[in-house]
């Protein structure tokens, strides 16, 4: 029975990785960042005496929403790659929208982690926040540039 369960999870993981393709490392990184943000956020809430299961569940639902947004980006990428030529819209890079969404969400998660660490009294360099903010703005400009194309 244990081997059957292991086999099922191995097959499911292989299937998901085959769907993700080149985005697999990016998805892995955003998942790690989401977990770290959740842990640091819950820690900051605990230290502040504001920890509640309602807030924790809301955070999990929000993280699941992030995964849905990434999936929507992947679906848009697939649709444009396979059918965009018929409507006169093509993107040169495969996975462009999903990657842009992941980068934007990743930067948000990293900024949130730093904010949570600050609430815990952990020092961090201010230049790092400025760098992440610049990356977020760059990702937003890239997405907005598509409006003009």
**What is the chain's Cα-based Rg?**
19
Question: pLDDT tens digit string along 1-29?
Answer: 777 777 766 666 665 655 667 788 899 99
What is the structure's pLDDT at 94?
73
- Look up residue 140 and give its two tokens: 């937003």
CA distance readout (Å), 115 to 4, 40, 101, 122:
43, 9, 21, 10
Residue 65 lies in a domain: yes
Residue reference for tokens 């999903």: 98
CA distance readout (Å), 99 to 22, 54, 70:
10, 31, 8
Residue 80 above 80 pLDDT?
yes
Residue 8 lies in a domain: no
Residue 75 lies in a domain: yes
Residue 33 above 90 pLDDT?
yes
Residue 10 lies in a domain: no
pTM of the model: 0.78
Instruction: Give the total number of structural domains in the chain.
Output: 1
Residue 13 lies in a domain: no
Quote the domain boundaries for residue 60.
22-148
Residue 74 lies in a domain: yes
Residue 28 lies in a domain: yes
CA pair distance 60, 34, nearest whole angstrom: 9
Residue 106 lies in a domain: yes
Cα 68 versus chain centre, distance:
10
């Amino acid at each position: 029975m244990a081997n059957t369960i292991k086999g099922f999870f191995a097959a499911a993981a292989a299937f998901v990785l085959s769907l993700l393709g080149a985005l697999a490392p990016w998805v892995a990184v955003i998942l790690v960042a989401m977990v770290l943000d959740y842990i640091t956020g819950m820690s900051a809430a605990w230290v502040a005496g504001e920890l509640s299961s309602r807030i924790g569940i809301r955070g999990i639902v929000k993280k699941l929403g992030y995964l849905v947004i990434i999936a929507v980006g992947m679906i848009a990428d697939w649709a444009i790659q396979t059918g965009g030529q018929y409507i006169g819209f093509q993107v040169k890079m495969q996975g462009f929208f999903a990657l842009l969404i992941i980068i934007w969400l990743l930067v948000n998660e990293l900024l949130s982690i730093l904010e949570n660490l600050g609430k815990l009294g952990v020092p961090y360099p201010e230049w790092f926040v400025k760098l992440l903010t610049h990356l977020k703005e760059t990702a937003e400009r890239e997405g907005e540039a598509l409006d003009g194309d």
